[in-house]
Chains A and B, each alone.
Chain A
Amino acid sequence: MFSNRYIFIYSTVMVIIVAVLLSMTAVLLQPRQEKNMTIAKIQGILSAVNIIATADDAEPRYQEFITTELAIDKEGEVVSIYRNGKLEKGEVRPFDIDLKKELFNKKMGESFVVPLFIAEIEGDTLYIVPLRGVGLWGPLYGNIAFGPDFNEIVGAEFSHDKETPGLGAEISLKAFSDQFIGKTMFDDAGNFVSIRVVKGGVSTLAPAQQDHGVDAISGGTITSNGVTVMLNDCLENYISYIKNNIDK
């Protein structure tokens, strides 16, 4: 028989050994894990402008194509600029902004900043907006790229953590994201309308609205609505910046 004393000592020693082992592993592997997350983020940004990068060439290709990173505040003012590997203005590199936290601050009515990535590809200036929202089971995220007028979409990329395979999870397929190409986020009068994911299909909309909608996924209504809300929430932060800085 084992005494109570033995059981106490046994459990204590066991827990200490396990704690030391796990914290050591976590600390040793952390740099690698963070690097993987950064690379995944870079790959997402690049794939919005149709550059497919592998884990190895993600960083050099990012430096090649993404020339400027900006952080834009609530009023549309540029608060930091990161260009050619140098922070020219502000304190935080826009790439390191935690979008989830900023969108939460926005919801709480506090001040916030959002990142904007500017790419130079074949002489064109493209604007890439990172997205973050909520699907059915977990977070949705993505990147959407606009042409030089910051209105017409040239590419989009979506991913998710745990949407239903075969239904909501289809948003990460090219067939879904390619629908966004050529759509616009402002109407002809210059008013912000965002882009909607339309249940029943874009063809059910009035012709003037069809430039601002894409087909939803059958059986993935909540995920599709999540994408609509995410686009609206994230894109509206850039309206003042666009009005002030981009010539129509």
Chain B
Amino acid sequence: MSAEVKERDPWFSTKNRKLLSAPLNRDNPITIQVLGICSALAVTAKLEPSVVMALSVVFVLAIGNVLISLLRKTIPPRIRIIVQLTVIATLVILVDQFLKAFAYDVSKQLSVFVGLIITNCIIMGRFEAFGMANKPWPSFLDGIGNALGYGWILIVVGFLRELLGSGSIWGYPLFEKIGLYNWGYENNGMMILPPMALIVVGVIIWVQRSKVRDLIEEN
């Protein structure tokens, strides 16, 4: 027993820290694995729903990954996808109910997209690839890491789209206050439309690959 305890990784060993940091950059779910794009396009017209969506995914992915990891030895392989789906659906419904009760405005804005967290491939992907095979603590870190990797892209896209599309940040009319419109500036209505989210994500991928050159595929 005691030998086993000594062999255990410290809580924030290099390996564990990497679980947290890799998805932020080198292993990012959106820019590298290109998962979860649907919601990244849909909710990022404004900063506030982007942040709430990111937080909801952090919650669902971290808790869900831990639950799956705790249950991993009891889950019969034949129904593991159903079990994973049930865990996700339960957590998502909880998030939805709590938003409706405590952040009604935000829940109205996110409307169907909270429900669509269920179909976010990142979550099922992590449960299947990590939670099913690892201990709870690394699973927790992996969940947080991947959700944050997803979240920071969402927040950057939401920030740019709200700033350039509506001229505001978190609903505060920044451009109006600094008098930019008096000089003939106009908001770019196209930024509000979903395709621009894809282009912004594309720009982020471009910037990322120009910084981290070994990510560029040879062909």
Contacts and interface: CB of A to CB of B under 8 A. Distances in A.
Contacts, number: 57
Interface of A: prevailing SS: helix
Interface in A23-40: 25-26, 29, 32-33, 36-37, 39-40
A52 interface: no
A244 interface: no
Given A161-B111, A162-B112, A166-B189, A7 B101 contact: no
B86 interface: yes
Interface residues of A, number: 24
Given A18-B86, A32-B101, A165-B193, A10 B94 contact: no
B76 A32 contact: no
Interface in B75-105: 75-79, 82-83, 86, 90, 93-94, 97-98, 100-102, 104
Contact of B93 (A14, A22, A165): A22
B165 interface: yes
Interface of B: 45, 74-79, 82-83, 86, 90, 93-94, 97-98, 100-102, 104, 108, 111-112, 165, 189, 192-193
Given A11-B79, A25-B94, 6 more contacts: A7-B76, A10-B74, A10-B75, A22-B93, A37-B104, A55-B104
9 contacts: A2-B78, A6-B76, A11-B82, A32-B101, A36-B101, A39-B104, A40-B104, A166-B45, A166-B189
Interface of A: 2, 6-7, 10-11, 14-15, 18, 21-22, 25-26, 29, 32-33, 36-37, 39-40, 55, 161-162, 165-166
